A and B are shown apart, each in its own frame.
Chain A
Amino acid sequence: MKLHLHVGVIETVDEATLNEALAVAGCTGRVLAKLKPNLAVLEREDAEKVIGALEANGLHPKVMR
């Protein structure tokens, strides 16, 4: 096991939704790792960027702070 502290994590219902969410925020190329097709790890700032972009587009993800 590996413990990664202070990373941004996004899990979506499917791969297409994850790709869309990342694309909306322009973070597709900034993903640190895709552990599964629907599970991406990002830097914290990029995760915040995704949240901001989704909310600006009227989508309100479940954000665990």
Chain B
Amino acid sequence: MNTAASPMQRFLAAELDLLGVLEVVIARSPKVLKNGLPNLAFFRAGNAALAQPDNELDGVGFGQVEFWLSLCRALELVAAVDSKLEVTPAADDFFALSSGERMEALRRAWIHSRDLNEFALSPDIELPALRKGRTVDVTWDVPSPERLVDGRRELINVIESLPGEMPLPRLLHALEREHTNLFINHDNDGSWRQVYYRGIRERGGREDVEREGNWELVEGAIVRLMCTLPLSRLGWIDFDDSTLAITPLADAPAEDPAFEVVVQPNFEIVALGDRPDPAVLWRLARFTTPQPDGRVRKYLLERKPFADALGRGASAVGLTDFVAGLSRSPIPQNVRFSLNDWAALSERIKIWPDALLVEAEGVEELAKALPATLLSTLSPTSLTGGHYVCTAPDASTLRGVMPPRRNALDYSRRLPPVIAPTDGTDLVAPREELHLRARQLLALVSVNRGTDRYELDSALVKQSAVTLGPEELLRRIREGMSRPLSAPLLLALRAWSGEFAPPYAGGAEVLLAENHEQAALLEELPELSRWVERRLAPGVYLLRPNGSGEIRRILEKLGIALRPSSASRRIAAPEARNDAGER
């Protein structure tokens, strides 16, 4: 153990563990489980990336990885994106800070952490109620997050006031005597409620630990864990695990980082040296695929992370120069050529998957029309045709830079229908209200006839119905209209789209039965049914060509003559009844 280490030196060495955990996040994009934690494979890989990994087999788990992950989450260096853990732009900002600022940020994150529960990380005690997610809602004596924050502050005050080296047992003795309630209240020890540390057991134990005489076992385990992890790693103390000696670290300048990289023709970058700079390695990790599982830090140059880095705003030349600056020997030619090639290829297709698009209308010059605050805050990219684009800003940022009297059309929501149908086949869509979804619909079914006027086009409707299907096309049309379609328009659209077969008007041969009993008997005649094309309604049959003559012949064989007119017998009934009366 280097007892002459300064806080910064201690921190920089420990920060490589933090970097290792983040590199595993970059390399694996681990799946986030329902409890909010990444999967077990991530913890194993993260543990393997540490300078001194925890031993999984002793049943303690991966305390160090959990510790660093908690700090990363507290500082929002990582976040779950689509159920996967990813590093965030905040991580780039974090590593852009000076090492002193980073140390302070991590110290603050630990002190104020509400997610980190040292009682769950300690290898000496276990919490039987704790199974998953590191949180439970049962009655137990494990301190609340607020109490832990207070306890951490109190412990730091004690540590900072230590006059010099002190063995841990002596510190624990002093803490038990003078800071008994450091984490858990002992004021009523001995009462029937406070005989045991409820929900806290010695590792492997079968019962809760008794309060009497076990302060060092429970609180002592937490203090020891804090000495091993945060207090030591974040530069407050030097803690020797074998002698249990605690030495407060005096401020002293840290030695300058000393390392170099070797770029190999197989695209592997190897970082060599005793004191690598975490901030520089972070930059390297952001455009490569880190391989943090070995003892030697390696980074593989690959096309995807390189293209991703370009998408985040890095320049290919800048990245190549950065690698060249770290390497004592020149970058192999094949690597340099490939980097240039990757950059050129990725520039061929540029995608903003969630963008703010500022569309120039007509001959509008956006550079002059857009507010200076928008240009300076969002730094939009100029596109072909004079349009501008940038990644979608959050609502508050956008509100602050919006041009006066303008609204952004938000495509994450349903936009209002702006196309008004008329009685005919014309559509009216005011240009200033027209959004891209409405324009897409208009392009599918109509042709432009004026500034705000469009005309439904049967050929376009037919073509779009083939691509989308008539039902989907009609659904889109209905959704896009500001009022219901008129019956004639609906009839036309459904006919054009092929949903309705063309109607027929003209002469036809039909067979009319007088009532359903007669119809049923007629249907029983096999010779007759051969000449029936389709039953149109009960007792009404459409006949095949020449069917009427054939049916007349069939029925005449039975002595039945067809009536001369299609008019119903019932229509003639009053007259017939009169005739019968007269008779």
Instruction: Mark A residues whose CB is within 8 Å of B.
Output: 1-13, 17-18, 21, 29, 31-33, 35-36, 38-39, 41, 43-44, 47-48, 50-51, 54-55, 59-65
**Considering only CB atoms, which chain A residue lies closest to B413 in the complex?**
A6
Q: How far is the CA of A33 from the CA of B435 in the complex (A)?
A: 10
Q: Which of A5, A39, A44 contacts B408 (CB 8 A)?
A: A5
Q: How far is the CA of A5 from the CA of B369 in the complex (A)?
A: 18
- Sample of 16 more A-B contacts, CB < 8 Å, known A11-B389, A35-B384, A64-B351: A5-B398, A5-B410, A7-B411, A9-B355, A10-B350, A11-B384, A33-B443, A36-B384, A44-B412, A47-B351, A55-B304, A60-B308, A60-B346, A62-B310, A62-B346, A63-B307
Q: How far is the CA of A2 from the CA of B388 in the complex (A)?
A: 10
The verdict on B437 contacting chain A, using a C-beta distance below 8 Å, is: yes
Q: Mark B356-395, 1 if CB is under 8 A from A, else 0.
A: 1111110010100110000000000101110101111000
Q: Which of A1, A7, A61 contacts B349 (CB 8 A)?
A: A61
Q: How far is the CA of A43 from the CA of B351 in the complex (A)?
A: 12
Q: Which residues of B contact A1 (CB under 8 A)?
A: 358-361, 364, 366, 369-370, 403, 406
Q: Which residues of B contact A63 (CB under 8 A)?
A: 307-308, 311, 351-353
The answer on a CB contact under 8 Å between A8 and B355 is: yes
Q: Which of A2, A38, A62 contacts B384 (CB 8 A)?
A: A38
The answer on a CB contact under 8 Å between B349 and A10 is: yes
The answer on a CB contact under 8 Å between B349 and A21 is: yes
The verdict on B407 contacting chain A, using a C-beta distance below 8 Å, is: yes
Q: Which of B387, B403, B410, B412 contacts A35 (CB 8 A)?
A: B387
Q: B43 → chain A, closest Cβ, in Å?
A: 27
Q: How far is the CA of A36 from the CA of B386 in the complex (A)?
A: 10
Q: Mark B427-458, 1 if CB is under 8 A from A, else 0.
A: 00000000111011001000000000000000
The answer on a CB contact under 8 Å between A47 and B353 is: yes
Q: How far is the CA of A3 from the CA of B482 in the complex (A)?
A: 22
The answer on a CB contact under 8 Å between A3 and B406 is: yes
The answer on a CB contact under 8 Å between B349 and A62 is: yes
Q: A61 → chain B, closest Cβ, in Å?
A: 4
Q: A32 → chain B, closest Cβ, in Å?
A: 4
Q: B376 → chain A, closest Cβ, in Å?
A: 17
Q: A21 → chain B, closest Cβ, in Å?
A: 6
**Considering only CB atoms, which chain A residue lies closest to B434 in the complex?**
A2
Q: Which of A21, A32, A48 contacts B436 (CB 8 A)?
A: A32
15 A-B residue pairings within 8 Å (CB atoms)? A1-B359, A3-B403, A4-B409, A5-B398, A6-B412, A7-B355, A7-B436, A10-B349, A32-B437, A44-B412, A60-B307, A62-B307, A62-B347, A64-B353, A64-B390
**Considering only CB atoms, which chain A residue lies closest to B393 in the complex?**
A5
The answer on a CB contact under 8 Å between B354 and A61 is: no
If A33-B439, A63-B311 touch, whether A5 touches B411 (CB-CB below 8 Å) is: yes
Q: Which residues of A contact B436 (CB under 8 A)?
A: 4, 7, 32-33, 41
Q: A14 → chain B, closest Cβ, in Å?
A: 8
The answer on a CB contact under 8 Å between B409 and A2 is: yes
Q: Which of A21, A39, A47, A50 contacts B387 (CB 8 A)?
A: A39
- Looking at chain A's contact residues, the main secondary structure is mixed
The answer on a CB contact under 8 Å between A60 and B351 is: no
- Looking at chain B's contact residues, the main secondary structure is mixed
The verdict on B34 contacting chain A, using a C-beta distance below 8 Å, is: no
**Considering only CB atoms, which chain A residue lies closest to B436 in the complex?**
A32
The verdict on B345 contacting chain A, using a C-beta distance below 8 Å, is: yes
Q: How far is the CA of A29 from the CA of B133 in the complex (A)?
A: 45
The verdict on B312 contacting chain A, using a C-beta distance below 8 Å, is: yes
Q: Which residues of A contact B407 (CB under 8 A)?
A: 3
The answer on a CB contact under 8 Å between B311 and A4 is: no
Q: Which residues of A contact B357 (CB under 8 A)?
A: 3-4, 7, 9, 41
Q: Which residues of A contact B384 (CB under 8 A)?
A: 11, 35-36, 38-39
Q: How far is the CA of A2 from the CA of B307 in the complex (A)?
A: 30
The answer on a CB contact under 8 Å between A6 and B349 is: no
Q: Which of A5, A12, A33, A61 has the most CB of B within 10 A?
A: A5
Q: Which of B359, B360, B391, B412 has the most CB of A within 10 A?
A: B359
Q: Which 4 A-B pairs give the minimum distances between C-beta atoms?
A: A61-B349, A60-B307, A32-B436, A3-B408
The answer on a CB contact under 8 Å between A44 and B353 is: yes
Q: Which residues of A contact B313 (CB under 8 A)?
A: 64
Q: How far is the CA of A25 from the CA of B303 in the complex (A)?
A: 20
The answer on a CB contact under 8 Å between B361 and A29 is: no
The verdict on B348 contacting chain A, using a C-beta distance below 8 Å, is: yes
Q: Which of A31, A48, A54, A65 contacts B311 (CB 8 A)?
A: A65
**Considering only CB atoms, which chain B residue lies closest to A37 in the complex?**
B384
Q: B451 → chain A, closest Cβ, in Å?
A: 15
Q: Which residues of A contact B562 (CB under 8 A)?
A: none
The answer on a CB contact under 8 Å between A32 and B356 is: no
**Considering only CB atoms, which chain A residue lies closest to B389 in the complex?**
A9
The verdict on B96 contacting chain A, using a C-beta distance below 8 Å, is: no
The answer on a CB contact under 8 Å between A12 and B355 is: no
Q: How far is the CA of A13 from the CA of B392 in the complex (A)?
A: 23
Q: Which residues of B contact A54 (CB under 8 A)?
A: 349
If A4-B357, A47-B353, A59-B349 touch, whether A39 touches B440 (CB-CB below 8 Å) is: no
Q: Which residues of B contact A17 (CB under 8 A)?
A: 348-349
Q: Which of A3, A36, A39, A44 contacts B358 (CB 8 A)?
A: A3
The answer on a CB contact under 8 Å between A4 and B350 is: no
Q: How far is the CA of A44 from the CA of B467 in the complex (A)?
A: 21
Q: Which residues of B contact A61 (CB under 8 A)?
A: 307, 346, 348-351
Q: How far is the CA of A52 from the CA of B342 in the complex (A)?
A: 18
Q: Mark B170-199, 1 if CB is under 8 A from A, else 0.
A: 000000000000000000000000000000
If A1-B364, A4-B435, A8-B352 touch, whether A64 touches B411 (CB-CB below 8 Å) is: no
